[in-house]
A and B are shown apart, each in its own frame.
Chain A
Amino acid sequence: MAYSFPEEVLEHVFSFLCSDKDRNAVSLVCKSWYEIERWCRRRIFIGNCYSVTPDIVIRRFPKVRSMEMKGKPHFADFNLVPEGWGAYVYPWISAMSVAYPLLEEIKLKRMVVTDECLELISKSFKSFKVLVLSSCEGFTTDGLASIAANCRNLRELDLKESEVEDLSGHWLSHFPEHCTSLVSLNMSCLGSEVSFSALERLVGRCPNLKTLRLNRAVPLEKLPNLLSRAPQLVELGTGTYSSEVRVDIFSNLSEAFSVCKQLKGLSGLWDAVPAYLPAMYSVCPGLTSLNLSYATIQSPDLSKLVSQCPNLQRLWVLDYIEDSGLEALATSCKDLQELRVFPSDPFGAEPNVSLTEQGLVTVSEGCPKLQSVLYFCRQMSNAALVTIAKNRPNMIRFRLCIIEPQAPDYVTLEPLDTGFGAIVKSCKELRRLSLSGLLTDRVFEYIGTHAKKLEMLSIAFAGDSDLGLHHVLSGCESLRKLEIRDCPFGDKALLANAAKLETMRSLWMSSCSVSYGACKLLGQKMPRLNVEVIDERGPPELRPEICPVEKLYIYRTVAGRRIDMPDFIWTMDEDAALQHS
C-alpha cells in the first residue's frame, strides 16, 4: 500500500530547500515529487538565456516569483562579442508578464534590456520588488523613470555597471513622494546629475535603505546631507570624493560618517583626494568591504587607509597600492578573503607603478583566509606562484593577468607551466582559474590532472597544440564554462571530446584554429548543442572548410537553434545546408 505524506506537507518540507541543486534532485525522486516541487518552486536561475525557452520554463514552473538570468558570454565584457549578438530579454518579459503576474524579482546579467522591457515590467507586475541589471545595455534613463514611477513597492534598483543611455537625471524624480520602500539603490554607472533635492527626499523617506551607491555627479560637499538622512546605511557608494580642501567640508563629512555606525561597505570614491580620506576613518574599523578601484590615490595614502581597516574581508584597489601597500594590507587585514588589483594604466608600454608579483606573494603569506584573487601585474615567476600555492591551499578563485601576452617567468624566462601547475595541485577546491603568461601544453596537463573542482577556466594566448585543449576537456570533471582566445586549439580535441560539451554550460573559442568543417560536423552530431559560428567576414561556406572560424560559441540547450541571430552568426546543425538557401 502506497503511503505518502499529503502534498501540503511535502510542499512545506520543500520550502526549506533553497538551492537549485537540491530542488532538482528532489524532482527526480518520483513523479509526484516532481509535480509538487515544480508547483512550489519560486526562484529560477537560468545561466544561459538560450539554453531554454520562456515557454518551457513557464510550463514547468508556473508559480515563479524570482527570476535570474544571464545572457552574453563573459568575453563580451572585453568587446570580443560583436554588438547585435543577442541576449534580448524582451521575449522573456513578455511571456512572464502574462504567466507570472506575481513576479517580484528580475536579475539579469549581460542582457539587452530596452525601455520597452522596463515599461512592461513596471506595468505588469503589481508586487514587483527587485530589479538588478548587471552589465546590461539597451535602455535609457527613460526606462528607469517608468520603473521609478510605477513600481509601488520597489525595494531594490541596482544598475551595476550597466551601459545606460543617459538622457537626463530626471528619472529619479519619478519616484512618487509616497514611495518609502527602497532598501537598495545603485545608480553608480550613470553619468547625469539627478536632482539633489529629489534624492535627498527619497533617501530621507526610506527608513529601510541599506545600500546607496551614488554616481560620480554627486558632489562631495553634499554627501553629508544624504548620510545624515540615512545613518542606518550598511553599504555606501560615494560620488566624487574630491573637492577643494576646506575645513568646513571636512568636518561636515567627518561628522556625517561618524553617525553611520552600521557601515560595512564603502565604494565609489572617484578621484579621491588624500586630504579627505581621514574623514572616513571613523567607519574604517567596521568596514568589511572596500572598493578603491576608482580612487587614484597613491601607495602611502592607500597603506594608511587599509591599516585602519582590520576587519576588511574584501579589497578592490588599483595597482597604485604597489607592493608596499600590499605589505601593509597583509599586516593589518588578517580577515582578508578577496583581493582584486586593477591596472591603472593597462595600455602603457612601461610599468607606471612598483607593483610586482611580490605584492601578491606577501598577501598570500599574511592573509590566511585569502581565497579569491584577481591580480593584474607585469611580471610573474614560477617561484612566486609556487609560493602562493603553498601558502594558500584554500584558494578557490585565482585570476592572474600578466599584462603582456605570453610573458615568461621573468627570472628564468621559462613558461609559467610549473607555477600554475603548483596552484592547481595545491588548491584542491579551486573553482575558477584565469591563466596568462607564456604557457605550453604542459600547464593544461597539470590542470586536467589536478583541477577536479574547477568550474570556470579562461585561457588566452596559451598552449601549443590540440593536446592542451584535450587535457582540459578530458580531465576537468567539474568544468562548466570554458573560454579561450588566441590559442592554437583546433578540431581534434574538440571533436574527440564532443560529449563533454553537453556536460558544460558553454564553450567560447575565438581566434583559434577550429575549422568550419569541424563546426559543421559537431553541429550535426550533437543535436543537444547549439554550435554557433560567429564570423564577421561573411558566410563561412564561401570559404574552404578547413578555414578556421573567427569565433565559436557552443552551449547545451533544450531550446533548439536560436531564431534571433544577427546575420554574422550561423548555427551548425543538420539544417545548416538549408539555412543558406
Chain B
Amino acid sequence: MSIPQEHDYIGSSEPLQVGKSSKDVKNNLFNLKETELRLGLPGSESPERKVGNGVSIFGKDLKDESVNGFSHSPLKNFVSGAKRGFSDAINDSGKWVLSMNGGSEVDLKKGDTLFSPKGVNVGGKNNNNLQSTPVKPVEEKKNENGSTAPASKAQVVGWPPVRSFRKNTLATNLSKNSDVTGKSGSGCLYVKVSMDGAPYLRKIDLKTYSSYTELSSALEKMFSCFTIGQYSHGLAGQESLSESRLMDLLHGSEYVLTYEDKDGDWMLVGDVPWGMFTDSCKRLRIMKGSDAIGLAPRTMQKCKSQN
C-alpha cells in the first residue's frame, strides 16, 4: 500500500511520512518526530517533544501532567473560535490555525483528528488539494506514554459481559464510596453517540475513558465505518483498514463532537475538565461542522429539531 502524500495541518508543502500500520510505526519509532502532527503558526518550528506526548484536540496538555483538568487548550480557542463563528477563525489566516494560549505548538496524537475543524480538507483521498492531517498510528495507546491512568484496562467491547444498567449503577456506587480509582463522581455513564449522516447510534461507557484523548480515539474507531462507507469505492480490494487510511478519511471530515448536558443544552466537547464532562454528559453527537457554527442557542434549537 502506498504511503499517501500528506501535507501538514497548516498547509505547508513539506510532505510528511505516515506510517502505514502500527507494525511499521513500531519499526519506525525514530521517525515519530517527523510524523507527528504539528499545529501552529505558519512558519514556526515545532518544539522538541517526547515521543508519545501530545496534546489532544480537546486541549489536555499531557506535558503539563494535569490529570483531571487542563489549562492550555487549543480547542478552547477552537471553541472560542466557534463561539465567534467558524468562518471568522478561518478567515483570519485563510488556513485553519489553532493557537494556544502560550503560543507554543501542540502535537496531535492519532486519536485526535476525528474532529478536525472545518476548512482543512474537503473531499476524497485522491484530491490534489488534500491538506490532510497525518497522524502517527499507535497500537497501544495506553502504553505509548505514561500519562494514562493505569487503573483501567484497554477496553474490549462487551467484555467482561456485564450489562450496561449494572455497569452504570456500579460505577455510580463506586464513586460514592471512597474514591479508589480516582474516577470522578456519579453521573451519566452509558451514553448514546450519534453521528450526523450515520444510520445508527452507538453506546459508549464514559467511565471507561479517563481523558478526552481516549474518548476521541475510541469514537474515531467506532465511527470510522461511516466515513469509510462514503468513500467505499476507494476501498475495493483492501482487506483491512489501516489506521493511516482511517486518518485520511477522517481528517477529511468536518465533524465536531458535541454533547447534551444535564440541563439539556448542547455543548462542544472539550470545554470543561474531563471529570466535569463525564458528570454532566447525557448524550454525544458528532455533528457536521456547519451545523455547529456559533453553537448559538438558536442553532442548537435547529439541530435539535433536525434530530
Q: Is the CB of B173 within 8 A of A349?
A: no
**Which listed residue, A79, A163, A189, A544, touches B158 by the CB 8 Å rule?**
A79
A-B pairs with beta carbons under 8 Å apart, 9 shown: A79-B157, A135-B163, A161-B165, A342-B162, A352-B180, A460-B161, A543-B237, A544-B239, A568-B200
Interface size bracket, B side:
35 or more
Which residues of A from 379 to 432 have beta carbons under 8 Å from B? 401, 403, 405
Q: Quick check: which of A43-51, A80-88, A274-282 contacts chain B, the rest being far away? A: A80-88
A2 at the interface (CB under 8 A from B): no
Which residues of B from 229 to 264 have beta carbons under 8 Å from A? 229, 232-233, 235-239, 241
Q: Is the CB of A82 within 8 A of B166?
A: no
A176 at the interface (CB under 8 A from B): no
**Which listed residue, A296, A346, A350, touches B177 by the CB 8 Å rule?**
A296
Q: Is the CB of B165 within 8 A of A82?
A: no
A5 at the interface (CB under 8 A from B): no
Residues of A within 8 A of B161 (CB): 77-78, 401, 460
Residue of B nearest to A405 (CB): B159
Shortest Cβ distance from A435 into chain B, in angstroms?
12
* Distance of A342 Cα from B166 Cα, bound (Å): 9
Which residues of A from 68 to 99 have beta carbons under 8 Å from B? 75, 77-80, 82-84
A153 at the interface (CB under 8 A from B): no
Known A84-B201, A544-B237, A568-B200: A79·B164 in contact at CB below 8 Å: yes
Shortest Cβ distance from B158 into chain A, in angstroms?
3
Q: Quick check: which of B37-45, B79-87, B148-156 contacts chain A, the rest being far away? A: B148-156
A6 at the interface (CB under 8 A from B): no
Contacts A345-B174, A542-B233, A543-B239 supplied; 13 other A-B pairs, CB < 8 Å: A75-B158, A79-B157, A80-B158, A347-B152, A347-B153, A349-B150, A376-B162, A401-B160, A537-B241, A539-B232, A543-B235, A543-B238, A547-B239
Residues of A within 8 A of B229 (CB): 537-538
Known A347-B208, A536-B225, A537-B225: A82·B202 in contact at CB below 8 Å: yes
B203 at the interface (CB under 8 A from A): yes
Which residues of A from 315 to 366 have beta carbons under 8 Å from B? 318, 342-350, 352
Interface size bracket, A side:
35 or more
Residues of B within 8 A of A163 (CB): 164-165
Shortest Cβ distance from B109 into chain A, in angstroms?
22
Residues of B within 8 A of A536 (CB): 225
Chain B residues packing against A (C-beta within 8 Å): 150-153, 155-167, 169-170, 173-174, 176-177, 180-181, 192, 199-203, 207-208, 225, 228-229, 232-233, 235-239, 241
Residues of B within 8 A of A177 (CB): none
Residues of B within 8 A of A455 (CB): none
**Which listed residue, A75, A343, A352, touches B160 by the CB 8 Å rule?**
A343
Residues of A within 8 A of B166 (CB): 293, 342
Judged by DSSP, the binding face of A is: loop
Chain A residues packing against B (C-beta within 8 Å): 75, 77-80, 82-84, 135, 161, 163, 189, 270-271, 293-294, 296, 318, 342-350, 352, 376, 401, 403, 405, 460, 485, 536-539, 542-544, 547, 566-568
Residues of A within 8 A of B167 (CB): 346
Residues of B within 8 A of A401 (CB): 160-161
* Distance of A342 Cα from B181 Cα, bound (Å): 18
Residues of A within 8 A of B237 (CB): 543-544
Residues of B within 8 A of A537 (CB): 225, 228-229, 241
Residues of A within 8 A of B200 (CB): 82-84, 566, 568
Q: Is the CB of A376 within 8 A of B160?
A: yes
Residue of B nearest to A544 (CB): B239
Q: Is the CB of B165 within 8 A of A189?
A: yes
Residues of A within 8 A of B207 (CB): 347
Give 9 closest A-B pairs by Cβ, nearest first.
Answer: A84-B200, A78-B158, A536-B225, A83-B201, A538-B232, A296-B173, A83-B200, A80-B158, A538-B229
Q: Is the CB of B199 within 8 A of A566?
A: yes
Q: Is the CB of B163 within 8 A of A78?
A: yes
* Distance of A471 Cα from B89 Cα, bound (Å): 63
Residue of B nearest to A536 (CB): B225
Q: Is the CB of A78 within 8 A of B159?
A: yes
Residue of A nearest to B163 (CB): A77
Q: Is the CB of A403 within 8 A of B160?
A: yes
Known A347-B155, A401-B160, A537-B225: A568·B169 in contact at CB below 8 Å: no
* Distance of A271 Cα from B156 Cα, bound (Å): 28
Residue of A nearest to B177 (CB): A296
* Distance of A349 Cα from B152 Cα, bound (Å): 6
Residues of B within 8 A of A342 (CB): 162, 166, 170
Q: Is the CB of A344 within 8 A of B201?
A: no
Residues of A within 8 A of B180 (CB): 352
**Which listed residue, B155, B169, B238, touches A294 by the CB 8 Å rule?**
B169
* Distance of A403 Cα from B155 Cα, bound (Å): 12
* Distance of A568 Cα from B192 Cα, bound (Å): 18
Shortest Cβ distance from A133 into chain B, in angstroms?
13
Residues of B within 8 A of A343 (CB): 160, 162
Residues of B within 8 A of A135 (CB): 163
Residue of B nearest to A349 (CB): B153
Shortest Cβ distance from A269 into chain B, in angstroms?
11
**Which listed residue, A80, A83, A271, A348, touches B181 by the CB 8 Å rule?**
A348
